Structure 1
Amino acid sequence: MKQKPYLSLEDVKRIAAAAEAEAAKHQWAVTIAIVDDGGHLLWLQRQDGAAASSAVIAPAKAKVAAMGRRESKVYEDIVNNGRAAFLSVPLEGLLEGGVPVMVDGHCVGAVGVSGVKSAEDAQVAKAGIAALG
């Protein structure tokens, strides 16, 4: 049987703290969602001032990034480049801001952020992931 790494609660807390610090540095009110490799929610943090809708969008971005094992921006680009039929795929969160957490070639989860411009959401997610080293 093959073995693979997984996100521990300590890892999740480290990612969340670093993502929160990145958002605070820029005074961005965001929601941070962290999911496991199956897209199941492990952490949800809606900062003061973040829009209520961000609490739905951030987990969706994280889930699509984990399940697809690629950044959610890839899917946004597919749609924006004219492949409207891709919208029929039964996935939500096809917006930039979901980033997979890759360890030794394995997707162990993802971080989704919502609340500011999509590129800034992705910046916060990547800062969180970077805390894993």
Structure 2
Amino acid sequence: MKLFKQVKMGVIALVLTVMPSITQAQITNDITEGEAFKVLLAAKKNAEVQNVVVNIAVVDAGANLKAFIRMDDSFLGSIDVAIKKAKTARYFNMDTGKLGELTQPGGIIYNIEHSNGGLMTFPGGVPIKNKAGKIIGAIGVSGGTIDQDRAIAMVGAAAVVE
């Protein structure tokens, strides 16, 4: 029993020694406000370079809206689409274009887009990963072609690890 107590105290001492070196940023699995704006601004800059006006949504790990921008003259109808693309990418942890391939008639999850209050199963939604490869949120882009939306989203998602 005495040996167990000594081992237990040793473990506690070790944990207390190591704990101060662990920062909140290292243990969080959620996108921060700063990271969300970095993603948003990188995507917006890429859209401007392509001369495309879009809506851009960033959601956190829980698929809650974290950051959003509606570029001047972008489609009003694309607001909801951008948000749903981001949420869909986070709900299923995959590119919405890839998910869309599985939802075609005869696909293994045909009609899933009718679940969860409506999903978007075409390109433009991409999970966002931190430097450790952990999904911490997602980005959704809408207003350009699906290829433009996806390319803009990919640039935004990559901004976290740059």
Residue number among 12, 25, 32 corresponding to 2:49 in the alignment: 25
C-alpha contact (below 8 Å) 1:4/1:106 kept by paired residues: no
- Determine the structure 1 residue equivalent to 2:60: 36
In the TM superposition, structure 1's runs of 4+ consecutive aligned residues that sit over 6 Å from their partners are: none
- Structure 2 unmatched runs, 5+: 1-26
In the alignment, structure 1 segments of 5+ residues that lack a partner are none
Instruction: Find the aligned partners of 2:114 and 2:81 in 1 and give their Cα distance.
Output: 18
Q: What do residues 1-57 of structure 1 show as CA deviations (whole Å, max 9, x unaligned)?
A: xx4432111111111111000000011010000000111001111111111011000
* Alpha-carbon offset, residue 87 of structure 1: 4.2
Q: Is the alpha carbon distance of 1:85 and 1:58 closer, same or farther for their aligned partners in structure 2, counting shifts above 3 Å? A: closer
Query: Which of the two has greater strand per residue?
Result: 1
8 Å Cα contact 2:29-2:61 kept in structure 1:
no
Residue 151 (structure 2) pairs with residue 123 (structure 1): yes
State the 1:85 CA deviation: 4.1
- SS of 2:103's partner is helix
CA contact (8 A) 2:59 2:67 kept: yes
CA distance in 1, matches of 2:139, 2:113: 22
Normalised by the length of structure 2, the TM-score is 0.74
User: Quick check: 58-67 or 73-82, which moved more?
Assistant: 73-82
TM-score of the pair, normalised by structure 1: 0.89
Report the equivalent of 1:102: 129
The one-letter code of the counterpart of 2:121 is: L
Larger Rg: 2
Q: CA deviation at 1:88?
A: 4.7
Percent same amino acid among aligned pairs? 27
